[in-house]
Amino acid sequence: MKILNIILILTFIYSCDKKTAKEQKNKITKNEIVKPAFQTIIDTHNVHGAILIYNLNKDLFYANDFKWAKTGRLPASTFKIPNSMIALETKVVDNDSTLFKWNGEKRAYKVWEQDLILKDAFKYSCVPCYQEIARKIGKKRMNAYLEKLNYLNMVVNSENLDLFWLEGASKINQFEQIDFLKRFYKSELKISKRTEAIMRKILFIEKNEKYSLYGKTGLSVRNKQQNGWFVGYAQSKENTLFFATNISPKETTDIKGFPKLRKEITLKALELIE
């Protein structure tokens, strides 16, 4: 009789655990909505990739390709967001007007060949400026703050300290990009209010009649294959939409025009979300 009771109890526990796991799975997947119109935008612009948008009010994710959106990739210059936060928190930079002096050497882009304040270094995605920041932060503090910010899967060591977001094994997916931005937006990151305020100024891109746009682009090259990011959020009076677009060119894509497609594709997708 005792053995029978034990079997019945174990069966009940197993069925409950199974039900709980199923409920958790449903909870995770039920707010993911496939948006075929996003794929049309991707195809029209002759690229591969995924658009992921999160509707804060409705707690819904929209994407054309959830598998792509859940695949980790190098953060590229989107890492300038946490890099700036860490620089402010560690006092490596004082504010968004901290000056980075150009050493006179030739750089990849003409716009980098000048003295830049932090806000403009962010805007123009000045890699040498942010490499300087990373070196001043140092490996130990960088890793400590990445853990503190829960910005995971970055591989940081002494050899790659000023390159780990551009090459190597570091990776982040589109859901993780949005999660980080959402925590920033909701003041859930372990950073000061002062850093928060400065970051909002740095992230601001433009304002139109519908919303204020905040965000950062990124571009990496691996095995001669480009990969582009645009992450951020569109804030209106009624709602906030978080986005993470990740695209790669096809063989027939106009490479010169590829960088501008990141933002262009995202803005078209935002128009489709009510």
* Catalytic (active-site) positions: 77
Beta strands in the chain (DSSP E): 32-34, 47-55, 60-63, 99-100, 116-117, 204-207, 212-222, 225-235, 240-249
First to last CA, the chain: 60
Per the CB < 8 A criterion, the answer to whether 96 and 67 are in contact is no
Tokens 């095995």 belong to which residue?
223
Per the CB < 8 A criterion, the answer to whether 266 and 29 are in contact is no
DSSP code string of 141-154 = HHHHHHHHTT----
Rounded Cα distance, 246 and 114, in Å: 30
Per the CB < 8 A criterion, the answer to whether 246 and 67 are in contact is no
Q: Say if residue 16 is exposed, middle or buried (CB neighbours under 10 Å; 0-12, 13-18, 19+).
A: exposed
Cross-strand pairs, 116: 100
Supply 243's token pair: 């986005």
Cross-strand pairs, 60: 55
Per the CB < 8 A criterion, the answer to whether 247 and 271 are in contact is no
